Chain A
Amino acid sequence: MMDFLTPVTWADALAVKADRPEAVPVAGGTDVMVELNFHRRRPAALLDLTRVPELAAWGRDGDVLRVGAGVSYTRLIEELGGLLPGLAAASRTVGSPQIRNRGTLGGNLGSASPAGDGHPPLLAAGAVVELASVRGTREVPVADFFTGPKRSVLAPDELIAAVLVAPADGPEQFAKIGTRNAMVIAVSSFALALHPGRRSVGTGIGSAAPTPRRAPEAEEFAAAHLPWDGPGPLDPDLARRFGELVSAAAAPIDDVRGTAAYRRHSLSVLARRTLTWAWEELCE
């Protein structure tokens, strides 16, 4: 007997998940339904999260934004495009309008695909994932959330509550390589955030390692060598070196969508381009 559980408050959702840890949460359903339709998964229970208002809300929490796990890509684009331009740019590349109306940031994290487009901008922005259960709440940096392909630190009795992320304080960029603009899983993707105030740089790599990951050496290199004092045209050698360091941080594999060598090469190009665009934006 498959049960369908429909909590209408966040407290109930957590209680249900504690009681039925095997229940599969369903937010937008754009990943879960494909598995159900093709009989890849036959869960004992489904946990509908679409009636929990807390998950669909976002707002300011001190210096950071708290974006509910149930906020759709369409809303990230329409409502948060100004505050989180990198995440909004990535959201615009997800699936199709129909997928974006339904797919959520929490579902992207829940699936923990190395190719999830929401992950690189969250990594670049230094976002934190808020996980909750009846035991309490914990905050996990996005960089520590993923443990392997489609695996994360999420415990069976936990739900993803929200993402905590500071509004952009400088240019943010996202770029992805796929065979076509919409409806593709990224062959590789890259997100960049510049923080001119504290002279630091954030990065996020997608589809080029078992998990989404940052490129710490590239971040340090750019932070140390970008001409923060006298903004002007970017030294092409600096951008090239940055690209090399980003590509070196990846650990890609060969698969049907691309070879490891192509992924590495494309990443260095994406990193070089996004740094150039972001720097131009900063100098404007």
Chain B
Amino acid sequence: MSASNLPDAEAGPGPVDVVLTINGRTHVVRIEPRVSLLDCLRDVVDLTGTKKGCNQGACGACTVWIDKRRVLACLTLAIACEGREITTIEGLAENGHLHPMQKAFLSHDAFQCGYCTPGQIMSAVALLAEGHTGDDAEIGEWMSGNLCRCAAYPNIRAAIREVRDGVPHATR
């Protein structure tokens, strides 16, 4: 795991002003063009809910939405997101109310250390919209870009099934 204070964000000369729309709010950030959206979110905008696991597209911890599609923030240039709608885990709750998927992750204990969780949830909500939640095999296949080192997979699938079926899990 890389710590977020690695010098990635400030590497290279020539910072420029970039206007980003994140969770409905406009941010003007001064960044170098090579900076990834992940480093920009974490180190510049101070939205640290999006996690850095591998920084190379393999773990899914940095999953965010751009124009409502799930993508990897570590493989996206922040500067290329000007004019696009960026949604992070911080933007999922509405008026202080958790998204049903966030509630389902809580009620199903769909995490242990929680490091992969923001990415899992961003992916899971997108998955519902994509409609690939027929059975556990399909859910597993379409969640394959989100790794969990704590192997919370069965509980993650249970949370997704619950939101798919619209049946809240009884609190134990």
Contact = CB atoms under 8 A, between A and B. Distances in A.
Interface of A: 1-4, 6, 26, 28-30, 33-34, 36-39, 42, 46, 48, 50, 95-99, 101-102, 181-183
Contact of B8 (A37, A46, A98): A37
A101 B142 CA distance: 12
Given A96-B145, A98-B63, A36 B34 contact: yes
Contact of B75 (A6, A42, A48, A102): A102
Interface stretch (B43-51, B64-72, B88-96, B162-170): B64-72
Contacts of B60: 96, 98
Contacts of B76: 29, 33, 102
Nearest to B147: A183
B80 A33 contact: no
A33 B33 contact: no
Given A33-B77, A36-B36, A42-B34, 19 more contacts: A1-B13, A2-B13, A3-B33, A4-B77, A6-B80, A26-B80, A33-B36, A33-B74, A37-B56, A39-B11, A46-B34, A48-B77, A97-B70, A97-B127, A97-B130, A102-B72, A102-B76, A181-B144, A183-B145
Q: Binding site of B, secondary structure by majority: helix, strand, loop or mixed? A: mixed
Contacts of B79: 4, 48
A181 B63 contact: no
Interface string B127-161: 10010000000000110111000000000000000
Contacts of A30: 57, 72, 75
B71 A102 contact: yes
Given A37-B55, A98-B63, A102-B71, A182 B33 contact: no
A46 B77 contact: yes
B157 to A, nearest CB: 15
B34 to A, nearest CB: 5
Contacts of A37: 8, 36, 55-56, 74
Contact of B33 (A2, A95, A181): A2
What size tier do the contact residues of chain B reach? Answer: 35 or more
Nearest to A78: B130
Contact of A99 (B36, B57, B77, B80): B57
Contacts of B13: 1-2
B57 A50 contact: no
B123 interface: yes
B34 A2 contact: yes
Most A-side CB within 10 Å, residue of B13, B60, B144: B144
B17 to A, nearest CB: 12
